[in-house]
């Protein structure tokens, strides 16, 4: 049986880690990308192995085009007969501030990682997916990209851009059996929401709680599965009813 590979950007922690585990449970070998946190990435790798699959760490900053290309090319050279059939563009950061006070570095960093990272990682993986006539691309967006959140103009712009890119790319590659979808989480309990007032915020959520990374991973797993083969160009919210 040939090995099937999935690449999860930002796989060291949070939602990305849960997605790595879910895809491993579905029989994928996992390429775990991260940028700095090797200890956490190693923990994800151990969980992937516990799920019965192989994994490898791919350390690169998705916003750095040269570094990203070099890492993907090196992987391709080491695996001449394989290709990455599932890509989860999950790496992301937030740098919140009202726009009037936002330094340009915070504007640029958020867009560079989310939108630049989408281009840098996705573009080189498309040809092999189309050649093999199978691929699954899942982009981690956010409710902020649908609704627009005050204090998150940079993040909302980046996530809104990812949603539009998802819809455009889906139409380019659908004939080749490559689906492209976005997932838009609300508040999910990870390091990213550390410091937020959960008790106050959960009152704004109809389900009255933050979500779990594993709940997002289940949705990603469904979109990767054969059952979702006719779903493409969509953005699916997972938010406990927040902004429906
Ligand atoms: P998290 O716990 O902060 O984890 C972020 C992950 O992204 C880490 O693995 C981190 O790697 C990686 N990363 C950050 N910058 C990177 C870069 N330049 N290159 C490669 N990897 C990078 O975040 P999370 O909550 O799981 O969020 C995952 C995704 O879901 C993000 O796109 C986020 O915007 C989105 N999202 C989250 C929520 C939420 O409530 N948590 C809601 C909506 C959307 P290191 O460990 O090496 O730092």
* Structure confidence by residue, pLDDT tens digits, 120-140: 999 999 999 999 999 999 999
Phi-psi map region of 64: left, alpha, beta (phi>0 left; psi -120 to 50 alpha): beta
Ligand 1 pocket test, pick from 192, 205, 239, 242 with the greatest ligand atom count within 8 Å of Cβ, gives: 192
- Summarised one tens digit per residue, pLDDT across range 6-62 is 999 999 999 999 999 999 999 999 999 999 999 999 999 999 999 999 999 999 999
Return the percentage of the chain with pLDDT > 90, whole number. 99
Q: Are 180 and 166 in contact (CB under 8 A)?
A: yes
C-alpha 208 to ligand 1 mean position (Å): 23
Dihedral over Cα of 74, 130, 19, 199: its sign: positive
111 lines ligand 1 (CB under 6 A): no
Neighbour order of strands in the sheet with 5-8: 55-59, 29-34, 5-8, 84-89, 135-140, 178-185, 235-238
Q: How far apart are CA 100 and CA 214, in angstroms?
A: 36
Full-prediction pTM beyond 0.95? yes
Decide if 155 is catalytic: yes
38 lines ligand 1 (CB under 6 A): no
Q: How far apart are CA 31 and CA 76, in angstroms?
A: 12
Of 5, 28, 34, 155, catalytic:
155
Say whether pLDDT at 158 is over 90.
Answer: yes
Amino acid 86: pLDDT? 99
C-alpha 188 to ligand 1 mean position (Å): 11
Domains in the chain, please, with CATH?
5-238 (3.40.50.720)
């Amino acid at each position: 049986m040939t090995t099937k590979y999935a690449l999860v950007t930002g796989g060291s922690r949070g939602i990305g880690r849960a997605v790595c585990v879910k895809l491993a449970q579905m029989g994928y070998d996992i390429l775990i990308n991260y940028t700095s946190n090797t200890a956490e990435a190693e923990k994800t790798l151990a969980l992937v192995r516990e799920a019965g699959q192989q994994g490898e760490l791919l350390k690169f900053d998705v916003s750095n085009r040269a570094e990203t290309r070099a890492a993907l090319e090196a992987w391709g050279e080491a695996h001449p007969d394989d290709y990455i059939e599932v890509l989860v563009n999950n790496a992301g950061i937030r740098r919140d501030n009202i726009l009037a006070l936002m330094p340009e570095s915070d504007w640029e960093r958020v867009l560079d990682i989310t939108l630049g990272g989408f281009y840098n990682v996705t573009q080189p993986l498309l040809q092999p997916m189309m050649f093999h006539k199978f691929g699954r691309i899942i982009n981690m967006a956010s409710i902020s990209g649908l609704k627009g959140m005050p204090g998150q103009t940079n993040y909302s712009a980046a996530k809104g851009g990812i949603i539009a890119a998802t819809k455009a790319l889906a139409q380019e590659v659908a004939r080749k059996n490559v689906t492209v979808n976005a997932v838009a989480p609300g508040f999910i309990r990870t390091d990213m929401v550390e410091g937020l007032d959960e008790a106050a915020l959960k009152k704004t959520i109809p389900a009255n709680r933050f979500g779990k990374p594993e709940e997002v991973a289940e949705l990603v797993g469904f979109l990767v599965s054969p059952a979702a083969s006719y779903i493409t160009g969509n953005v699916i919210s997972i938010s406990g009813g927040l902004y429906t």
